[in-house]
Amino acid sequence: MKVHKHISIFALCLTILVQHAYAVESWEFKVFYGDTVIGEHHFNVVENDDNKKVEIKADFNVNIFFINVYSYKHKNIEIWKDSCLNSIESSTSDDGRNFLVEGADDKGTFKIKSNLGYEEVDGCVKTFSYWDKEFLDSEALLNSQTGEYVDVDISFVANEKLLVRNEIIDTKRYEVKTDEFDIDLWYSDKDEWVALHSTTQDGTKLRYQIK
C-alpha cells in the first residue's frame, strides 16, 4: 500500500518541540489515519542554556478487520546547540525494513552515516524541527529516518481559527512541500506548534492531535 510509505516518511519528519531557557517538556500526539487512531508520537525535550536533548518515539499500527497490515516504530535522540543539530542517532522499523542514522557536527561540517551511505553537509543542519519556527526559513532539511538531506519549499498560507484542546484559538498556517509529501502546520500566536495535517497517496487524511 502506497500509504504506508507516506506515513513512515511523514512520521519521522516530526521531530521536536518548544524551547525555554531551562526546561523539561514532554508532549504527546495522537495520530489519526482518517478517523482511526493508529498510534502515538511522543517527544521529550530537555534544554539547558543553548543546548537541547530531544528524545522521540513513534509507534503506529494499521489494522484491517483486526489484522495488522502495517507497523512502524521509530526512536530518535538529537542534540541541538545554538539552534543547529549537533548530533543524531535514530533507528526505525518500517514494516520490517530497518533503518539506522548516525550524524555529528565536525567543525562546521555535519557528517551523516545511514543506509544510503555517507554524506557531508556544510553549515547549520536542521531536521524537520517544527518546534522551532526558525526552521520555516530552511531550504533543505535532514530526514531523520533515511539520513537524506532533502530540499523543501515552505510558505505561509493564512491566518486561521483552529480547535486545539477543546478551545478555538487564532493560528498561523504554513505549508511544507518536498518531493515526497506536503504537510500543513499550525502555530499559535505564541509561536507554539499546535497541529499538523497531511494527505496520504490514497487520499486519506493523516492528522496529529495534541493530547
- List the chain domain ranges: 2-210
Span 102-128, average pLDDT: 95
**Virtual torsion, Cα 32, 45, 187, 147, nearest 10 deg:** -70
The whole-number pLDDT of residue 27 equals: 77
The whole-number pLDDT of residue 194 equals: 86
pLDDT, one tens digit per residue, over 154-201 is 999 999 999 988 999 999 999 999 998 899 999 999 888 888 899 877
**pLDDT score of 7 more than 90:** no
CA dist., res. 161 & res. 170, Å (int) = 5
**Virtual torsion, Cα 30, 80, 174, 116, nearest 10 deg:** -80
* Fold of the 2-210 domain: outer membrane lipoprotein receptor (LolB), chain A (2.50.20)
Share of the chain above pLDDT 70, in %: 89
pTM, to two decimals: 0.83
* pLDDT class of 11 with cuts at 50, 70, 90: low
pLDDT, one tens digit per residue, over 78-89 is 999 988 999 999
